[in-house]
Structure 1
Amino acid sequence: MLRRDTNHKKTDIPVAEPLYPKSSKRRGNKAPVIPIVAAVLTLLAVYLLFFNGKGDKLAPTPTSQAIKDNVAVDSSTISTNSHTVTINGEAEELPDSIEYYDLNDYVGFEDGKSKEDIILLCIPLRNAEKVLPLMFRNMMNMTYSHSLVDIAFLVSDCSEDDRTFEALVEYTSALQSGTLLQLLDSQQEEMKRSGIRGTSDLYLSYMDKAYSENVRNAYSPPYHDEYEKPFRSIQIFRKDFGQIIGQGFSDRHDVKVQGIRRKLMGRARNWLLSNALKPYHSWVYWRDADIETSPGSIIEDLMKFKDYDVIVPNVWRPLPTFLGNEQPYDLNSWMESEKGLELARNLGEDDVIVEGYQEYPTWRVHLAYIRQENGDKNEIVDLDGVGGVSILARAKVFRQGVHFPAFTFMNHAETEAFGKLARKMGFRVGGLPHYTVWHIYEPSEDDLQDISRMERKKRRLRQTSGS
């Protein structure tokens, strides 16, 4: 019977190495040698396959014999080291070309940090150069052991003049070499000295002072022990999907483009996940790059709900003081309503309900609107749809077939359809109404016009008082 080798930890699992295509360039005229070498290797392989050095037939290895005999395998007796198994009380090393995983071992524990669960952190990026410093500071601030986190980036559909990919390579290299904090601090100091500030940054002077102070404190020392440590691995993928909708706030949130945009986003998420997910990942954490602040312990905080397979926090955003200081941001996390079901029944098969828009009156209960500032952060409610800003899910959810529909599924697409599909397949989806993540504030065109009018009014008052 196969038994677990308890001397190995999940951190012993080798990081997947990239495969590079072999060169097809010919080096001189070596054609006559190739058939000879091939023939010799073939004879050698046949010899090794059927005979040992004494001319006897090779006995099957214990591992192959166990498989051949259809031995029942207990999930609690398999080593998490993919190249080592214990058979009849003795540890046996498997060849490097053979890996064994019992996926029952990677279920995603609520105390994953102490169980050394390996996390896959997925971050899609598009025209994200400006927010990368913020994103990396948030990543470094995560208290989940960095040695247990694999990161996968997908850079897609960026503008020709965008430098997201180049900046990402620079920052990831610095992160893994332990010099990123120094790089980010030096860049920040250089910006302060230059005094460069665009007209689109005028809104900063209209933000709530207390919130701005909280943001500064979030990125100031003292830092925790994991802060500057490298992560277990980082992979960067590039793939375009034909996304031509602009990245401005008004462009992205126009109701007319939501169906098309979200289906393309679903396709991007699925490509990233299918390339990055490994058999030893227990959890998958999806996170947007433009989160401004979130608790460093967010992974541990979300995974501790053992009865839930998909968990999301509440997502709000700050506003300028003249707009009320703050507002709910992610309205894609919700509980289904009878009005919503009725609306879906009256729509076409390919129509996509866009939650939070007056064109689609669903009267659903949104996670964002049941938030209480001093509410219990451990309170959790069942959800049907989820937003994509911050999603933690057990890896088994995806292995069983749940994905981000890049088509209309139950009149939804992407993350909202993901929530519906997860529920349909028997998984439990939950949200934390009083646990808040703060998204960056992106001024809309109307907001910028209001700020421009107020700035002109200030100048007129200064001129009047000066005269």
Structure 2
Amino acid sequence: MSTISTTFNKLTSSLSKNDHILILTLLQNDEEYLDHYFQLIDASSYPNQYISIGLLVSDSTDNTLNILQEKVHSLQNRWRNRFYEIDVYQKDFELDKKKDEATALTSKRATLAKAKNFLLTAALREHHSWVAWVDVKLFSYPSTIYDDLKAVNVDVIVPNCLQKREKDDEFWAFDRNNWQESEMSLQRQQHIPEEDLLMEDYNEYAIGRHLLVDMPTHGNIETKVPLDGIGGTFTLVKANVHREGAIFPPFVYQHNMDTEGFAKMVKSMGYSVYGVPSYIIYHY
């Protein structure tokens, strides 16, 4: 299911309330999260008329695709607050294909990177000023998140993603892929083969980087910190960063791939990558 826009907007690098945002999300057996996913987007303070959504359904065995198509039809046929456009794509990437245990994690991350790149290529239009990569399983985030993160005005920015617990005052760290290199991690990388993959959210790959989830959260939106790796729960990217070649590498790039590899590539291209420790969102 796909819609074709006939509207053309001149590209601009200035911050504007009228900037078009493209929200991109991968889906796999996520039928139970779809209603809440759209509720969060619909409740945001950013005008729906300037929001496009691109969704890729892959390797689903449940009713995700059919439910999604019905949901999109309902949203886009209401008489007000329609989104600028919603595109739904379907392509299987064999995400669940069984592989040798030694290479299973690497293969999965490579496949996820390929899926993201496919969705980006299919959905990105000339009128999009920003691309937001949003996890379908997010539990909550501020309704002003798009304006808040845009206002920081950096090339790539991520909030701090925690996991909400049953008690209101309890939470766990969730997105451990948002990190800074440390002296220890940089030193270790000097003595390992170029093709070795390092992923800080898995103990056997961890090398002591500084995680965003471990940083003080009492600051404000202006208290941003430079990052060297990012995760995939919520990422806001200036669209020109993608247009000029930044992808999610499905291969090892500077000992990383997928989202962390994307951050490394972005920095190699001379762009900035930041996180905001105090800006909290929650995952299921």
**TM-score normalised by L of structure 2:** 0.91
Runs (5+) with no aligned partner, structure 2:
none
Which residue is equivalent to 1:366? 211
> Matched residues in 1 for 2:174 and 2:222: separation?
20
* Cα distance, 1:434 vs structure 2: 0.2
> Matched residues in 1 for 2:90 and 2:278: separation?
36
Which residue is equivalent to 2:68? 168
Q: Which has the larger radius of gyration?
A: 1
Which residue is equivalent to 1:357? 202
Choose which of 157, 172, 185 in structure 2 pairs with 1:311: 157
The residue type equivalent to 2:64 in the other structure is T
> Matched residues in 2 for 1:344 and 1:261: separation?
23
More strand by share: 2
2:163–2:282 CA contact under 8 A, matched in 1: yes
* Cα distance, 1:349 vs structure 2: 3.2
Which residue is equivalent to 1:268? 115
Which residue is equivalent to 2:227? 383
* Cα distance, 1:348 vs structure 2: 3.3
Choose which of 165, 179, 183 in structure 2 pairs with 1:334: 179
**Residue-by-residue CA offset, 1:180-228 (whole Å, 9 max, x unaligned):** xxxxxxxxxxxxxxxxxxxxxxxxxxxxxxxxxxxxxxxxxxxxxxxx6
* Cα distance, 1:356 vs structure 2: 2.5
* Cα distance, 1:255 vs structure 2: 9.5
1:119–1:285 CA contact under 8 A, matched in 2: yes
2:49–2:83 CA contact under 8 A, matched in 1: yes
> Matched residues in 2 for 1:344 and 1:156: separation?
34
The alignment partner of 1:340 has SS state of helix
1:16 aligned onto 2:40? no
* Cα distance, 1:320 vs structure 2: 4.2
> Matched residues in 1 for 2:260 and 2:34: separation?
26
> Matched residues in 1 for 2:63 and 2:241: separation?
34
Aligned residues: 279
> Matched residues in 1 for 2:132 and 2:63: separation?
25
* Cα distance, 1:142 vs structure 2: 1.4
* Backbone CA RMSD of aligned residues: 2.2
The residue type equivalent to 2:20 in the other structure is I
Choose which of 92, 98, 106 in structure 1 pairs with 2:12: 106
* Cα distance, 1:244 vs structure 2: 0.8
% identity of equivalent residues: 32
Runs (5+) with no aligned partner, structure 1:
1-13, 18-80, 83-100, 180-227, 247-253, 441-467
The residue type equivalent to 2:114 in the other structure is R
Which residue is equivalent to 1:419? 263
More helix by share: 1
1:122–1:152 CA contact under 8 A, matched in 2: yes
Which residue is equivalent to 1:437? 281
> Matched residues in 2 for 1:346 and 1:359: separation?
17
Which residue is equivalent to 1:287? 134
> Matched residues in 2 for 1:378 and 1:173: separation?
39
The alignment partner of 1:350 has SS state of coil
Question: In 2 relative to 1, CA 289–423 (structure 1 residues): closer, same or farther, beyond 3 Å?
Answer: same
The alignment partner of 1:304 has SS state of helix
> Matched residues in 2 for 1:168 and 1:348: separation?
44
- 1:225-240 to structure 2, matched below 5 A, reads 229-240=81-92
- 1:82-93 to structure 2, matched below 5 A, reads 82=8
**Residue-by-residue CA offset, 1:14-51 (whole Å, 9 max, x unaligned):** 9536xxxxxxxxxxxxxxxxxxxxxxxxxxxxxxxxxx
The residue type equivalent to 2:139 in the other structure is E
* Cα distance, 1:330 vs structure 2: 0.3
The residue type equivalent to 1:163 in the other structure is N
The residue type equivalent to 2:187 in the other structure is E
**TM-score normalised by L of structure 1:** 0.57
Higher RCO by CA contacts (8 Å cutoff, separation 6 or greater): 2
> Matched residues in 2 for 1:348 and 1:166: separation?
46
